[in-house]
Amino acid sequence: MTRTLAAWLHGTRVAELKAASADGRGITLRYTPAAFDLVPGRAPLLSCSLPLDPRPLDATHFFAGLLPEGEALRSMADLAEVAAIDTFSLLARFGRDVAGAVVITDADVDDLEPRSPHIEPYQPGELDDAIANLPTRPLDLHDDSELSLPGLQNKLLLVAVDGGWARPRNGHASTHILKADDLRHPGLVDAEATCLRLARAAGLTSVDATVETFADQRCLIVPRFDRTSGPDQGGAPARIHQEDLCQATASDLRANGGRGKYASAGGPDLEDAAELLDSYATDPTAQLTRLVQVVAFTVAIGNADAHGKNLAFLHPTPGQIELAPLYDTVPTVLWPNLRTAPAMPVGPRVCNIDEITGRDIMAAAKLWRVGPDRARAAIVDCADTVAAALGSCITPDTPDALAASVLAACERLHDT
């Protein structure tokens, strides 16, 4: 008999999932009757790429987007004793705490919490060991881990407890993400923390980043913007639904040698994001203006790796979306061996991230039907805010070259 999984959203069983191929790579989704009571018409519920429809839908790329890449994916597959391409089996094993509010269980489960989700506080030295072992045990996976997080970098998921941190078990909702410094690019997490502080000053993120040292490694710790402190089922933190741009456009991450998140390899671009906001945002004008600010900020910090997995939408209410707080704000321009061409082109001109001007963003905004006065004001205001906040956001651990790079970029943004 074919195995079936259930997808839950805020306590409601909204869909059933089946493997669409023998290897588990493909996934078919069928919405439940309860889903049609949540949103009108063909509005998005789980994803902009999965509007409500009584027919079975191809949900392969949305659900594949909940899993990590690279070594973390291989480690998950080894623990589950399945192939790394078997998305269906991996979700069955690890789908209880993922990005957004969706929770995945076996279909024969009537209760959203058939097992008791709980936490295990890290004892002295245990978190240091977990971080030191991330290269061989990504996400600090254990036999009782039922969690997943997209991305390539060494990360793990934490739950904040009084006086320290705990490991989520059996699908307990995590509250924080820890990212260890990249030993190939030392200083990266301190640079990202500074840029997140700049993003907060610019009103573009709610993420309050801290950097701590564990196992002699600098580690960035950020609260999850898709979790709140209020209780969800089982007393866990409440989940907020979100999806990234690749999921919202059903982009195939495995395309072109696993580079499908980049626009140059067939992934989504800024115009795709603008079209979704225009279609589904409660206030499209405000959200498109915010998109202009996001692009200006990305240029200001020199982040050429702002691809479709690093731009996300919140679903504040069923059927509606808005831009999520910024995250993964890495100033790649500081490391010569990281990419220099923007992951999503800005305007029609082909150039590196440190050559983009305000005029390039104006040209892009015109395609999104953002008026020139509104676009110019958004760009200049972002540049001025970032430049003014720079002094208060830099710490002794911030890479020395960041300030000069940001100030030079802010000057270019005034060229509108």
Mean pLDDT of 375-404: 97
| pLDDT attached to residue 183 | 85
Segment 224-252 mean pLDDT: 87
Separation of alpha carbons 46 and 91, rounded Å? 15
Q: How much is the pLDDT for 117?
A: 82
List, by residue number, the catalytic residues: 305
pLDDT of residue 112: 58
Question: Please, what CATH class does the domain formed by 118-223 belong to?
Answer: alpha beta
48, pLDDT greater than 60: yes
First-to-last CA distance in the chain?
A: 62
Residue 31 CB-half CA count within 13 A: 21
pLDDT at 385: 98
Q: What is the pLDDT of residue 115?
A: 60
Tell me what the mean pLDDT of segment 66-73 comes to.
94
pLDDT in tens, 293-304: 999 999 999 999
pLDDT > 70? residue 232: no
Q: Which of 354, 351, 360 is nearest to 334 (CA)?
A: 354
Separation of alpha carbons 27 and 249, rounded Å: 16
CA torsion sign for 273, 276, 278, 283 is negative
Query: What pLDDT, on the 0 to 100 scale, is given for residue 231?
Result: 62
Contacts of 81 (CB under 8 A, 6+ apart): none
In which band, very low, low, confident or very high, does the pLDDT at 237 lie, cut at 50, 70 and 90? confident
Of residues 362, 287, 297, 295, the one with CA closest to residue 324 = 287
Q: Looking at residues 130-156, what average pLDDT do you find?
A: 93
Q: What is the CA angle 328-324-340, rounded to 5?
A: 35
Q: Which residues of 392-414 are buried (b: 16+ CB within 10 A; e: fewer)?
A: ebbeeebbeebbebbeebbebbe
Convert the pLDDT of each residue in 326-361 to its tens digit: 999 999 999 988 989 999 999 999 999 999 999 999
Sorted by where each begins, the domain ranges of the chain are: 4-106, 118-223, 240-413
**How confident is the model at residue 413, as a pLDDT?**
98
Report the predicted TM-score, pTM, of the whole model to 2 decimal places.
Answer: 0.95
Q: What is the pLDDT of residue 1?
A: 45
Q: What is the pLDDT of residues 180-217, one digit of tens each?
A: 998 889 999 999 999 999 999 999 999 999 999 998 99
Looking at domain 240-413, which of 2.40.50, 1.10.10, 1.10.1070, 1.25.40 is its CATH number?
1.10.1070
Q: What is the pLDDT of residue 43?
A: 86
Average pLDDT, integer, range 159-168 = 92
Dist. CA 53–CA 30, nearest whole Å: 8
For the chain, what is the mean pLDDT? 93
For residue 271, what are the CA distances in angstroms to 260, 268, 278, 308, 368? Answer: 16, 8, 10, 11, 7
| DSSP designation for 135 | T
What pLDDT does 114 receive? Answer: 52
Q: Which position has the higher pLDDT, 195 or 228?
A: 195
When pLDDT is averaged across residues 205-234 and rounded to a whole number, the result is 88
Task: Beginning with the edge strand found earlier in the chain, give each strand of the sheet holding 312-314 in spatial order.
Answer: 242-244, 312-314, 322-323
- Higher pLDDT: 215 or 288? It is 288
Using 50, 70 and 90 to split pLDDT, how confident is the model at 233?
low
The string of pLDDT tens digits covering residues 83-135 is 999 999 999 999 999 999 999 999 886 655 556 788 999 999 999 999 999 99
Q: Is pLDDT larger for residue 318 or for residue 382?
A: 382
Please determine, for residue 2, whether its predicted confidence score (pLDDT) is greater than 60: yes
